[in-house]
């Protein structure tokens, strides 16, 4: 929390233009395909990379992203309504006791170095469980300077409520860019993210290290047309600073 307060202060006092729309991008599901994952890390700009715990290339990829000054997230597997065989190791489940839950969470946090935050991998069931999301946020509060990003795999997520109660810096995903691995669709979703940022001041997009996505981002990140690409931490700082200063109008 102190890290965020310092960021807000520096943003507010640094002469930043708070009316220019901004976007932040997260690349999910890193850790198992080193060639694709490194290609994603090499994308230009301050993207964030969500790495699966205990995946074979987790440490290598986290070190590579951090060396480029990019944010590293723990892509934390959480119980879903279906297809839980896809969760992978280190998953949190709704039938865990608090001790088992916290132990599993700590192991996952320690499995990926250079973390600046956590977002959920799947989780359509667990993120609806307020008690367990409170357990998660209580543990994050004991871990310095971590954000929580809700991937919003269910509209019934209670992650925001739990994060706000624990005073954990929180961001929610606005647009998934590549639910369909089609170039034309990814372009449309980037347009939707830009439109969201223009209307709301900022926007958060999530994508994956698919070759189609990487190709589109290489093209589109060069021509964002008055939109700034920023880190998640910067987006949060700008959001809090706008709120503190009563800034609601954005540039078009």
CB 126 within 8 A of CB 53: no
* pLDDT computed for residue 244 by the predictor: 80
């034309």: which residue's tokens? 184
Per-residue pLDDT reduced to its tens digit, 134-144: 999 999 999 87
CB 219 within 8 A of CB 190: no
Q: Read off the pLDDT band of 2 (50, 70, 90).
A: very low
Nearest-angstrom CA–CA distance, 29 and 52 = 6
Would you tell me how many other CB atoms lie within 10 Å of the CB of residue 159?
Answer: 27
Q: Read off the pLDDT band of 11 (50, 70, 90).
A: low
Distance from the Cα of residue 78 to its chain's centroid = 15
Quick check: helix, strand or coil at residue 78? strand
Would you tell me how many other CB atoms lie within 10 Å of the CB of residue 86?
Answer: 11
* pLDDT computed for residue 252 by the predictor: 42
Per-residue pLDDT reduced to its tens digit, 161-197: 999 999 999 999 999 999 999 999 999 999 999 999 9
Per-residue pLDDT reduced to its tens digit, 186-238: 999 999 999 999 999 999 999 999 999 999 999 999 999 899 999 999 999 99
Nearest-angstrom CA–CA distance, 135 and 112 = 20
Q: Read off the pLDDT band of 246 (50, 70, 90).
A: confident
* pLDDT computed for residue 144 by the predictor: 77
Tokens of 176: 């998934």
Pairing of strands 202-207, 22-30: parallel
Biggest CA–CA distance in the chain, Å, is 50
Q: Read off the pLDDT band of 1 (50, 70, 90).
A: very low
Number of H helices, E strands in the chain: 9, 9
* Mean predicted lDDT score pLDDT of the chain: 93
| 231 or 7, greater pLDDT | 231
Tokens of 170: 């929180």
| 145 or 33, greater pLDDT | 33
* Exposure on the CB side of residue 173, measured as CA atoms within 13 A: 25
Give percent helix, percent strand, percent coil of the chain, each to the nearest 5.
45, 20, 35
Tokens of 3: 């890290």
Residue 110 has pLDDT above 80, yes or no: yes
Would you tell me how many other CB atoms lie within 10 Å of the CB of residue 28?
Answer: 23
Nearest-angstrom CA–CA distance, 45 and 227 = 13
CB 54 within 8 A of CB 88: yes
Domains and CATH numbers, the chain: 22-232 (3.20.20.370)
**pTM, rounded to two decimals:** 0.93
* pLDDT computed for residue 7 by the predictor: 56
């Amino acid at each position: 929390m102190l890290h965020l307060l310092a960021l807000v202060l520096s943003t507010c006092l640094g002469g930043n233009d708070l009316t220019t729309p901004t976007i932040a991008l997260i690349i999910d599901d890193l850790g198992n395909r080193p060639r694709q994952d490194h290609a994603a890390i090499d994308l230009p700009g301050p993207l964030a990379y969500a790495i699966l715990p205990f995946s074979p290339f987790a440490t290598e990829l986290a070190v590579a992203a951090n060396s480029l000054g990019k944010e590293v997230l723990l892509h934390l597997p959480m119980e879903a309504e279906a297809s839980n065989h896809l969760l992978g190791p280190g998953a949190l489940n709704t039938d865990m006791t608090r001790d088992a839950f916290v132990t599993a969470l700590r192991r996952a946090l320690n499995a990926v170095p250079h973390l600046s935050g956590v977002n959920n991998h799947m989780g359509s069931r667990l993120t609806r469980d307020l008690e367990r999301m409170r357990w998660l946020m209580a543990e994050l509060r004991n871990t310095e300077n971590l954000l929580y990003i809700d991937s919003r795999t269910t509209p019934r997520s209670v992650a925001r409520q739990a994060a706000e109660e624990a005073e954990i810096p929180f961001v929610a995903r606005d647009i998934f860019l590549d639910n369909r691995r089609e170039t034309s669709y990814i372009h449309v979703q980037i347009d939707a993210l830009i439109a969201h940022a223009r209307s709301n001041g900022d926007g958060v997009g999530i994508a994956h290290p698919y070759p189609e996505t990487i190709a589109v981002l290489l093209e589109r990140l060069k021509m964002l047309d008055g939109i700034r690409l920023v880190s998640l931490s910067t987006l949060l700082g700008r959001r809090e600073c706008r709120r503190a200063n009563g800034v609601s109008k954005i540039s078009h």
